[in-house]
Amino acid sequence: MTTLDDAPVEANEARGRAAELRKIKEQVHAGPSERATQAQKAKGKLTARERIDLLLDEGSFCEMEPLRRHRATGFGLENKKPYTDGVITGWGTVHGRTVFVYAHDFRIFGGALGEAHANKIHKLMDKAIAAGAPLVSLNDGAGARIQEGVAALAGYGGIFQRNTKASGVIPQISVMLGPCAGGAAYSPALTDFVFMVRETSQMFITGPDVVKAVTGEEITQNGLGGADVHAEKSGVCHFAYDDEITCLEEVRYLLSLLPQNNRENPPVVESEDPAERRSDELLDLVPADGNRPYDMHAVIAELVDDGEVLEVHERWATNIICTLARMDGQVVGIIANQPQALAGVLDIEASEKAARFVQMCDAFNIPILTLLDVPGFLPGVDQEHGGIIRHGAKLLYAYCNATVPRISVVLRKAYGGAYIVMDSQSIGADLTYAWPTNEIAVMGAEGAANVIFRRQIAEADDSDAKRAEMVKAYKTELMHPYYAAERGLVDDVIDPAETREVLIRSLAMLKTKHAELPQRKHGNPPQ
């Protein structure tokens, strides 16, 4: 039985314990040593806690398991048991909304993953899925902790399984802020978006030394798997930046455009850009001559709120544009051909890029706007042997499977299979519009005339004049601006200057769209 006389003694003991806890927490926050921190800084990198502070709203971070230590023995591990075990996990807010985050601490075991390290990440991922909130990983680790053997590999398996479980349920963002080699690279590849920082982050399955030993090729880490390589060549990286501060600012911006989970819509903000604003500049931006290039980015900037966009895969497959933006405050995903690159044709990489973007938008309730100016699929032996049929089918499947509001606008050319694939009315677009400069046909007039009127052209005294005559006749009969509208294949031909207003009104009407797919375990999309 406790008496009043005993209370001060217990209180003093409690105060002592609290002081001890504060000392331990201070040690946890300071990290393993000042020397380790300086080594991190010497590489031009921030510490894990500095990165979390930049990502989250000030003072919002709540840490999970800061006192966790590994239980491994052997190879000297039993004598080195730092707090956190090399990964900081927890949650906070970004623009006032909950976000879960884990950050590898390279100062501890080089950020390498062991059993306790992995268990912390597993627990965080489970909570993110249960809470229905985005998950951001700040990656800066040396892969599996070799001293812990297969237990470390099993830890990665648990992460991959949860990445897959969370796919399409909550947004998953991987931020590469250091090395990521071997099997560890598959977790970012399973997530929705990958950010990288030039010079400091690399991703590869086998490093330069292994490549040299096996193939004889000599290459640097950045040359093999740096930010620019993955942003321009492989398509693994969606966004690449010069420094960590800018990179994390852009992660915050991306989160502001995404819903918390697949059961919510993206946040709507009040826009000061009038919904009924005319864009007379569009009449001059897009030449009527289908052979003349122009910058589709300028068209998109005229249509969206304040010209602000966040382009995904900006430097990969540049013949197609995939970007997030707002129209009257509502988030939309825009897919558009880029006439300045390969005339805006669809090829293998463009098809993959757009298909992935359509799937992401559909998963997170983001309406899809498609702007067409496409001459067809890119011809060539390399494309056919590379599987353009299979890859083009990915884009077709993604559009056909999408249940979010879908609107397409034909600006100029829309030829052949590429017209069908890019969200035509026949594959389920909710609304289709066209500008008076549109040309919707099986192929261009020149090619069509050469096929249809081959004999007449060959037998003519002046074959060039006959060909020109037949091309003009084909255009007049089958390619005039109102041909598709007369047959109900587009809902209306609109004044380009009124496109923004028409689209915003259409999106408002489709806001309550409800569509269901047939009951099934899952589809079997082309791979």
Q: In this structure, what token pair is assigned to residue 226?
A: 């740096």
Q: Is there a contact between 282 and 302 (Cβ–Cβ < 8 Å)? A: yes
How confident is the model at residue 3, as a pLDDT? Answer: 45
- Report the Cα 235 to chain-centroid distance in Å: 10
Taking only the tens place, the pLDDT of each residue in 353-362 is: 999 999 999 9
Residue 404 domain-assigned? Answer: yes
Mark whether 341 and 449 lie in a shared domain: no
Q: What are phi and psi of 355, to 5 degrees?
A: -60, -45
In angstroms, rounded to a whole number, what is the distance separating the alpha carbons of residues 436 and 286? Answer: 11
**Strand, coil or helix: 63:** strand
Taking only the tens place, the pLDDT of each residue in 436-469 is: 999 888 777 677 767 777 888 777 877 778 777 7
Where a domain ends, among 214, 241, 257? Answer: 257
Rg (Cα) of the chain, in Å, rounded? Answer: 28
Instruction: Tell whether the torsion through CA atoms of 384, 389, 390 and 391 is positive or negative.
Output: positive
Q: Which of 183-197, 292-306, 325-339, 480-494 has the lowest mean pLDDT?
A: 480-494
Can you state the angle between helices 48-55 and 244-257, rounded to 10 degrees? Answer: 40
* Catalytic site residue from 132, 149, 168, 182: 182
Q: Higher confidence at residue 274 or residue 109?
A: 274
Residue 264 domain-assigned? Answer: no
Residue 143 domain-assigned? Answer: yes
Residue 269 domain-assigned? Answer: no
Q: Is 417 a catalytic residue?
A: yes
How confident is the model at residue 105, as a pLDDT? Answer: 93
Q: Is 182 a catalytic residue?
A: yes
55 pLDDT band (50/70/90 cuts)?
very high
Q: Is 418 a catalytic residue?
A: yes
1 pLDDT band (50/70/90 cuts)?
very low
Mean pLDDT of the chain: 91
Q: Higher confidence at residue 354 or residue 481?
A: 354
* pLDDT higher than 80, residue 409: yes
β-sheet bridge partners, residue 413: 439
Average pLDDT over residues 80-85: 86
Mark whether 330 and 213 lie in a shared domain: no
Average pLDDT over residues 123-133: 98
How confident is the model at residue 300, as a pLDDT? Answer: 98
Residue 276 domain-assigned? Answer: no
Q: Which domain holds residue 33?
A: 15-257
Mark whether 420 and 496 lie in a shared domain: yes
In angstroms, rounded to a whole number, what is the distance separating the alpha carbons of residues 349 and 18? Answer: 58
Q: Is 157 a catalytic residue?
A: no
Mark whether 26 and 71 lie in a shared domain: yes
Mark whether 173 and 141 lie in a shared domain: yes
Mark whether 346 and 488 lie in a shared domain: yes
In angstroms, rounded to a whole number, what is the distance separating the alpha carbons of residues 483 and 480? Answer: 6
* pLDDT higher than 70, residue 6: no
11 pLDDT band (50/70/90 cuts)?
low
β-sheet bridge partners, residue 332: 325
Mark whether 77 and 220 lie in a shared domain: yes
* Catalytic site residue from 417, 428, 447, 468: 417
Mark whether 235 and 344 lie in a shared domain: no
In angstroms, rounded to a whole number, what is the distance separating the alpha carbons of residues 431 and 449? Answer: 31
8 pLDDT band (50/70/90 cuts)?
low
In angstroms, rounded to a whole number, what is the distance separating the alpha carbons of residues 354 and 422? Answer: 9
Taking only the tens place, the pLDDT of each residue in 204-240 is: 988 888 888 999 999 999 999 999 999 999 999 999 9
* Catalytic site residue from 158, 183, 386, 428: 183
Mark whether 194 and 126 lie in a shared domain: yes
How confident is the model at residue 226, as a pLDDT? Answer: 94
3-state SS string for 512-524: CCCCCCCCCCCCC
What's 238's domain CATH number? 3.90.226.10
241 pLDDT band (50/70/90 cuts)?
very high
How confident is the model at residue 4, as a pLDDT? Answer: 44
Mark whether 472 and 490 lie in a shared domain: no
Residue 147 domain-assigned? Answer: yes
- For the chain, the domain total comes to 3
In angstroms, rounded to a whole number, what is the distance separating the alpha carbons of residues 274 and 278? Answer: 9
How confident is the model at residue 135, as a pLDDT? Answer: 98
How confident is the model at residue 12, as a pLDDT? Answer: 74
Mark whether 455 and 417 lie in a shared domain: no
Biggest alpha carbon distance in the chain?
Answer: 122
Residue 5 domain-assigned? Answer: no
Conformational region of residue 46, where left means phi above 0, alpha means psi within -120 to 50, and beta covers everything else: beta
Residue 124 domain-assigned? Answer: yes
- CA-based nearest residue to 408, from 342, 330, 492: 492
Mark whether 490 and 472 lie in a shared domain: no
Q: In this structure, what token pair is assigned to residue 18?
A: 């609290």
